[in-house]
Chain A
Amino acid sequence: MLKANSVSQWAVVKQLIRRDLRVASRQRSDLLNPLIFLLIVVSLFPLGVGPGPDILGRIAPGVIWVSALLSSMLGLERLFRDDFRDGALEQMLLLPVPVEISVFAKILVHWLLTAVPVLLITPLLALLLNLPLQAWGVLWLTLLLGTPVLSAAGAIGVALTVSLNKGGALLSLLLLPLLIPLLIFATAAVEAAVAGISPAGPLALIGAFMVISLTLAPFAVKAGLRVSVN
């Protein structure tokens, strides 16, 4: 092969992250909507099931996690949708770095933009639903470990459906069943903490989900994108 001015992979990843953050900073409503949705859904529960603190405290882990799952579905499509429309996705596949690395950068940015705000308002959600104080930390940990799984698994779903016109509904049908184990172990961890038992087991499992999905998803996303751009 000919010699060329080589670009370090890190430099390319840095540029991708910078561009995506910049684009996101100019369409803030896209980022705010899922967060407001989450807040509204969670605050509807006390109105729907009654403000009894016992019931609320008991259903809090499930409600918060289910709402977080649903709200993450709302913003998921923007992971690749805009890039697909304007052609930036095609150019991403043509970058002189392995596609998996660019995909990992996209997943990372998506996590920063969608999950970090959720992590910030988690105490508010726990307060709204009267979650016992000793479980707040564990709830936060399950979200910290679980949200990267949402972004990574979501990226696979979006990569497969991005070229379809009505991909949004299909995406939820495709992904939500896959995320059931995550939901089960996350709520189990929080319930264990509420009951005063060690949540280490389910937490470790969520951690394993995170590691597996972050390492394997980029390969699946690459395959999905190659199909979708043609």
Chain B
Amino acid sequence: MLLEAKQLTSVRGDRTLFSGLDLFVNSGELWQIEGPNGAGKSSLLRILAGLLPAQHGHVYFSGELIQNHLEQYYQHLLFIGHKAAVKPELTAIENLEFYAAVQGVELHEPPYEILAKVGLVGLEDIPAQRLSAGQQRRIALARLWLSNAKLWILDEPFTALDVDGIALLHSRFAEHLLAGGAIILTSHQELITPLYSVQALQLRYQH
């Protein structure tokens, strides 16, 4: 068992988003969190990533409570949220080199190949602020090729991506799952792909 969440309850303001929620994620599994806007999908992802405290319940990674081992947990976790976390003043290459270095991935040469893969050829040396939203998103997602984290938590990874971009992500997901990784993501579109199977967790809007 890679990640276990037991009896999670999240309350934002006066509203209970979910209560008594269990989630068990094994290596090689992709979990899609589904639900309408405001159902607590992002909150759940943030709780699993240790960014947001849950009102009740605990999250375990390889059997250990994440709060007690946050730094070790983060060596195995790649979290990409709503915001791309791409510094607009820096070029795509500089952004990627930073994330590679802090994740302990050694680059022997600038990651041109990865940028080419995500379709940013010729845009490597332009400050990210001059790129479009979709292109900035692609820089953020290029981190998926630079990461050897076991667990990926991705909030709406398909937003602002075109058809080619989506297909590319699917194939990268399949690679990661095959290598024994796990993915938890939210998405409003159904994931239709022959490359891997999808487990679904449905969140309901609670009043």
Q: Which residues of A are interface residues toward B (Cβ below 8 A)?
A: 1-2, 4-7, 11-12, 15-16, 18-19, 22-23, 26-27, 85-88, 90-91, 93-98, 226, 229-230
Contacts and interface: CB of A to CB of B under 8 A. Distances in A.
Contacts of B94: 19, 22
Nearest to B105: A5
Nearest to B100: A15
Given A95-B102, A229-B51, A230-B51, A6 B87 contact: no
A93 B62 CA distance: 21
A15 B102 contact: yes
Contact of B76 (A2, A26, A91, A230): A2
A27 B90 CA distance: 11
B74 A94 contact: yes
B72 A1 contact: yes
A97 B46 CA distance: 18
Nearest 8 pairs of A and B residues by beta carbon: A87-B83, A87-B85, A7-B104, A4-B75, A5-B104, A96-B74, A26-B89, A96-B75
Of residues A2, A26, A27, A93, which shows the largest number of chain B Cβ atoms within 10 Å of its Cβ?
A2
24 contacts: A1-B76, A2-B76, A4-B72, A4-B75, A4-B150, A5-B104, A6-B104, A7-B102, A7-B103, A11-B101, A11-B104, A19-B87, A23-B90, A26-B127, A85-B83, A86-B84, A86-B86, A87-B81, A87-B82, A87-B84, A94-B77, A96-B74, A230-B46, A230-B52
Does more than half of chain B's interface fall in helix, strand or loop, or is it mixed?
Answer: loop
Given A12-B102, A96-B75, 17 more contacts: A2-B76, A4-B72, A11-B101, A11-B104, A15-B102, A19-B94, A23-B89, A26-B89, A85-B83, A86-B84, A87-B84, A87-B86, A88-B87, A94-B77, A226-B51, A230-B46, A230-B52
A154 to B, nearest CB: 21
Given A1-B61, A5-B105, A26-B127, A95 B74 contact: yes
A2 B150 contact: yes
B98 A15 contact: yes
Contacts of A86: 83-88
Given A1-B69, A86-B84, A95-B102, A6 B127 contact: no
Contacts of A95: 74, 102
B148 interface: yes
B64 interface: yes
Nearest to A229: B51
Contacts of A96: 71-72, 74-75, 102-104
A86 B105 CA distance: 23
Nearest to A18: B98
A90 B51 contact: yes
Contacts of A5: 75, 104-105, 148
A19 B105 CA distance: 17
B142 interface: no
B8 interface: no
Of residues B77, B79, B86, B88, which shows the largest number of chain A Cβ atoms within 10 Å of its Cβ?
B88
Contacts of B62: 1-2
A222 to B, nearest CB: 11
B49 interface: yes
Contact of B104 (A4, A93, A98): A4
Nearest to B74: A96
Interface in B105-147: 105, 127
Of residues A5, A16, A96, A230, which shows the largest number of chain B Cβ atoms within 10 Å of its Cβ?
A96
Nearest to B98: A19
Interface string B143-168: 00000111000000000000000000
Contacts of B79: 90-91, 94
Interface in B32-88: 46, 49, 51-52, 61-62, 64, 69, 71-77, 79, 81-88
Contacts of A7: 75, 101-104
